[in-house]
Structure 1
Amino acid sequence: MKYLLINTLLLAVLTGYAQGQGPDAAGILAKVDQNMIAKTQIVESQMVIHGRRNDRTVSSKGYSEGTGKSFTEYLSPEREKGTKMLKLDDKLWIYSPSSDRTIQLSGHMLRQSVMGSDLSYEDMMEERKLTEMYAAKVTGEETVEGRKAWVLDLKARVPDATYDRRKLWVDQERFVPLQEELYAKSGQLLKKTLMSDVAKIEGRWYPKKINYRDMLKDGKGTDFIVLSIDFNPNIPDYIFSKASLKK
């Protein structure tokens, strides 16, 4: 009876592939969100910005709640120390200790580079679930750094998505992104990301290193390195307030 059940399930899977159904793209994307998104997060990280002549490292500590609130404080180098960013929904404020001023960024200003890196302010603000922003379909299977991956094509279904289309390679076993291509509405490739140093943290798979490459300029890109991450901690409400920018 056991062998009959196994054979029946196997036949159902093979029949699905034969009929072109393939794996469930929405289900794969939901598992990616489960790994990458938490109710709250506290992250200590470094950005290694690879320049033409030398590299520069910027360290920070960030707090986030859901997809609408985030707060980041830069810790080093001395030039950037004390700079703070606060995001509340679609609004972003930046505090500069050198001028003791707080400014709000909006519109095209959000496309500017963060401290000379390959990340834009839009990239830093985009924390919504992929399942909420994109319709997905599986277009194939490939091997990335020795790992079998589903290839997903994502098309934006919300008007305010930073990128109109994404191509995403998802680890078939761990359901974590391995690499990604980000496209404009025109079809132009804007950025590439490569995820590595995947580790199991608090029961979920998570890439501790992400290389971002702006395809509109030369260079080795920017490495975003997670030094420590805490999922679902309690974060005081005052962290996500404009008053916290000058504390």
Structure 2
Amino acid sequence: MKIAIITLLVLGFIHQDPGTDASSIIKKVDDNMISNTQISITKMIIHGRRNSRTVASKNYAEGTEKSYTEYLSPAREEGTKMLKLEDNLWIYSPSTDRTIQLSGHMLRQSVMGSDLSYEDMMEDRKLTEVYNAQKIGQETINGRKTWVLELHAKVDDASYESQKLWIDQERFVPLRQEMYAKSGKLLKRAEASDVKRVDGRWYPMKMNYKDVLKEGKGTDFVITDIQFDVKIPEYIFSKASLKR
């Protein structure tokens, strides 16, 4: 009996799919979600305690180090621009014609009253660069089978000490996400929906972010148009572009 049990355990180990271990899963998520370049049109719907407002923007990104956002509406936000180069973030305000650089605790401030912080907007690094992952189970979300992963930061400057992710087993898209502080306290939740096939990759066209420390129904981040691996003029990712 003991030999039979050992044999079954060994066979089970041999037949495990090496492509479904936690490290392989998050690498496939990185490969699917991160492109060489992307251009998108988005709207951020901020649900406050009493009403909602929508902020539209055009966004450019190159890898994980460069991004540029120009806000298109409403009128009071139109012309505001944001530039990220590696760990540096600048914001241009047309009302004052000034550019300021955000750093330190200022990055934890809310972006235009939303449930996203500037730190959230800046965190574009690959999961494999920032976290160690462990697979803890499987669950079904809205009819989709997911792997449940726990992620723990392996770098000191991670936005969150740990995360819990529910990864679509076929499309390698995070369908649900929980972000935690070093104390273990839950800080934010995110839910992905309207996943579509775009330029050979699966991508969520809608995300809902909820800061659990903030009142309201969260912030919907909706992509109305997106293109991957397209040529972006180099001047876009320069400080001079902020005042163009």
Instruction: Give, in whole Å, the separation in 1 of the partners of 2:33 and 2:102.
Output: 26
Q: TM-score, normalised by structure 1?
A: 0.92
Instruction: Give, in whole Å, the separation in 2 of the partners of 1:42 and 1:52.
Output: 32
1:161 aligns with 2:158: yes
Distance 1:55 1:172, change over 3 A: same
Q: Which residue of 1 aligns with 2:110?
A: 113
Q: Which residue of 2 aligns with 1:78?
A: 75
From 78, 84, 89, the equivalent of 1:92 is 89
1:188 aligns with 2:185: yes
Runs of at least 4 residues of structure 1 off by over 2 A?
11-14, 16-19
Instruction: Give, in whole Å, the separation in 1 of the partners of 2:79 and 2:11.
Output: 57
Instruction: Give, in whole Å, the separation in 1 of the partners of 2:10 and 2:141.
Output: 24
> Can you list the C-alpha shifts for 1:205-224, whole angstroms capped at 9, x where unaligned?
10000000001122210000
Q: Which residue of 1 aligns with 2:57?
A: 60
1:226 aligns with 2:244: no
Q: Which AA in structure 1 matches 2:61?
A: S
Residues 188-227 of structure 1 aligned to structure 2 (within 5 Å): 188-227=185-224
SS in 2 for 1:108: helix
SS in 2 for 1:238: helix
Q: Which AA in structure 2 matches 1:125?
A: M
1:174 aligns with 2:171: yes
Q: TM-score, normalised by structure 2?
A: 0.93
Instruction: Give, in whole Å, the separation in 1 of the partners of 2:134 and 2:39.
Output: 32
TM-aligned CA deviation for residue 16 of structure 1:
2.4
Residues 152, 167 of structure 1: 8 Å contact kept: yes
Instruction: Give, in whole Å, the separation in 1 of the partners of 2:13 and 2:203.
Output: 30
Distance 1:22 1:130, change over 3 A: closer
Residues 80, 92 of structure 2: 8 Å contact kept: yes
Q: Which residue of 1 aligns with 2:138?
A: 141
Q: Which residue of 2 aligns with 1:150?
A: 147
SS in 2 for 1:149: strand
Residues 48, 215 of structure 2: 8 Å contact kept: no
Q: Which residue of 2 aligns with 1:236?
A: 233
Distance 1:148 1:75, change over 3 A: same
Q: Which residue of 1 aligns with 2:30?
A: 33
TM-aligned CA deviation for residue 30 of structure 1:
0.9
Q: What runs of 5+ residues in structure 2 fail to find an aligned partner?
A: 1-7
SS in 2 for 1:63: strand
Q: Which AA in structure 2 matches 1:80?
A: E
Q: Which residue of 2 aligns with 1:6?
A: none
Q: How many residues align?
A: 236
TM-aligned CA deviation for residue 35 of structure 1:
1.4
TM-aligned CA deviation for residue 173 of structure 1:
1.4
TM-aligned CA deviation for residue 12 of structure 1:
10
Q: Which AA in structure 1 matches 2:212?
A: M
Provide the aligned C-alpha RMSD in A: 1.9
> Can you list the C-alpha shifts for 1:49-107, whole angstroms capped at 9, x where unaligned?
00111110000001111111110000000000000000111110000000000000000
TM-aligned CA deviation for residue 140 of structure 1:
0.4
Q: What runs of 5+ residues in structure 1 fail to find an aligned partner?
A: 1-10
From 43, 49, 58, the equivalent of 2:40 is 43
Q: Which AA in structure 2 matches 1:207?
A: P
SS in 1 for 2:20: coil
TM-aligned CA deviation for residue 114 of structure 1:
0.2
